[in-house]
Structure 1
Amino acid sequence: MTLMMMDAKRRKECRELRGRLLELLEIILYEWRGSGKKFTERNPMDSKSS
């Protein structure tokens, strides 16, 4: 019984963390798009491929 309760608690925590991560990703992608893609300018891999 206690193991099942611990698993349920862990699943709830994982769901909450996943939700927060998705929110952060949305913010990062929005900022990245709005900034004229400055991140790719600093990426050395992009300069090699072009």
Structure 2
Amino acid sequence: MLASITPLNSEIDKLWVKEAHKRKEEIDSDSVTLVDGDEVFKKISQRFNS
């Protein structure tokens, strides 16, 4: 049923895997700053409620 809603596309899947590996490498090398999810949602809420 899920495949009928979102058909499989191996090229897109390969791109997502590549992106996931890139992001993992960025995290492992400390070249990005991670933000806690609760903090992200707090900032979004503040932005839209102000």
More helix per residue = 1
TM superposition score normalised by structure 2: 0.49
Q: Which has the larger radius of gyration?
A: 1
TM-score when normalising by structure 1: 0.49
